[in-house]
Amino acid sequence: MNKFYSLIILFFLTFYIVSCVKIKDNYEQTQFSNYLYPYSSENSDVTCEIIIETKSDISKTDIESSIPVLKYNKSWLMLLTQDDCMHAAFSNTWAAINGKPLYATYFYDIAHLVAGDMPPGFYKLGKTLGYTDGTDKEVRFAFTTTLAPENEWMDEPSDVRLGYKSDYYRFYKKNGLIWDNVKSMLNFGIGIAFHDVVTDDVHNVDSIYTHYEIAQNLIRSKLNGRGCKVLAEPNGNYDYVKAALVYDDIQFMTAQGNAKETLYPFKVVGDLKKGLFSRVFNNDPNSLRPEIESNLNLPKENRKAIHIGVHGTDFKWVSFLEWINDKYGKDGDDSVWFPSIEEYYEYNYYRIHSKIETAISGNVLKIKIHMPAGKYFYYPSISLNLKGLHPDNIQSIQTSEVVTGFSFGDYNEGTMLNIDCYKHLYERAAFYCEQYVANPTDSNYEDALYFINQLKDSDKKQELLRRIGF
């Protein structure tokens, strides 16, 4: 009996010891590499030159140059602002646009995506969402997200545990966007805006102004010198607008109830600086479809910008964005321009203030464009129409070194040139190329090809294409 009791005691002691030891699920810690564009050294006040050799002689009276109202000669403008610095802006809105995994209940960060540490149960649209630049090159939709730089949770790190499946707490919704997610979103053209600031008195204009400056300094320190110039008015509080009107850095504002002016792009004659334009909030985005369709029944000169505000996004918003792509984007009639507010504001500024000089000698057309930038400008890119010059008559085109991205094609009345003067366009493309080489997934390939295709033709571009096996 003593032996029997001894075995029982031994069994319970073993069970107790084992139950007190935490069995760790095996997982891999991975290093995360992100690309942060050097915004502090972006080109500004650009002067570029383009030389076109034609197949037959042309005269100065044959050619008329102009910057179209909307980039790529699109016929209507759509804008989307996502308030409250939401985690969903990355893992739902940005993810849907860029063909990434989507979830009904989980949220993830760029570090999870790059490492391949993802929760189960995802779905994908099977494509990216966007339009073309008029020459068959893809341009993905972009939107504007507000930031909350004074809140410490933007500094929260990502908990990456590749292979850890005991629980998925690391994929619960965070308080909001973290800086790593913002950095990656900016690479894809997403814009940023001021919203709430951390003041004890949200109706004290001086206090709001002071916190704009605090928030701006934090944004610039976190985003490699990039400043913010847009306000998305929070909570219908017009005191934020009053503070923005005297804060020089804020150049464009949008609001819901307090904005009396609707943006009609084809009626804009000024540079929109300090403009306050309306947007519409709607919990069911698909109910906006009739309004969009009705708007597009009008001549383009009478069409308003469709500007939508949103907080969180879910499958309904994914479906809505897919509908825009399928009907008006690259898989539809390709009529929509869907940029961030920043890009639209800058493009219109260049349209109003750029100086274009042309000189013709025989069959050679020389074009010189000066694009004067405002403060915190980061989209040195325009379309240029050459009315009277058909693409079939073009023998060759040369661009100056400051032009890093270039494409051309026909539009109704002649040739359209798309001119990009981003200083670090090649470096960004090279980063996404190397990311694909290190992890050759279909999604990484699509991203690498997307950024490489933004470059103008060169030996360096061809080398990047070879690197990804194109």
Q: Find the helix or strand (DSSP H, E) in which 367 lies.
A: strand 364-371
Q: What is the mean pLDDT of each run of 10 residues along the chain (470 residues)?
A: 49 40 52 90 96 92 94 98 98 98 97 95 97 97 98 96 94 97 98 97 98 98 97 97 98 93 97 97 91 97 98 96 98 98 98 97 96 98 97 97 97 96 98 96 96 98 97
Any idea what the Cα angle at residue 276 is, between residues 275 and 281, rounded to 5°? 145
Residue-level pLDDT at 120: 96
d(CA 249, CA 376): 8
Residue-level pLDDT at 302: 98
d(CA 312, CA 92): 9
CATH class of 72-159+168-348: alpha beta
Residue-level pLDDT at 25: 55
Residue-level pLDDT at 31: 73
d(CA 307, CA 76): 11
Closest CA to 393 of 356, 359, 365: 365
DSSP label at residue 28: B
Residue-level pLDDT at 11: 46
Strand stretches in 163-319, DSSP E: 191-193, 230-232, 252-255, 275-278, 280-281, 306-310
Per the DSSP assignment, residues forming a β-bridge with 358 are 367
Q: For the segment 144-184, what is each residue's pLDDT rounded down to a tens digit?
A: 999 999 999 999 999 999 999 999 999 999 999 999 999 99
Q: pTM for the full model?
A: 0.93
d(CA 377, CA 152): 27
Question: For the chain, where do the domains classified as CATH 3.20.20.370 start and end?
Answer: 72-159+168-348
3-class DSSP string for 268-320: CCCCCCCEEEECEECCCHHHHHHHHHHHHCCCHHHCCCEEEEECCCCHHHHHH
Residue-level pLDDT at 15: 41
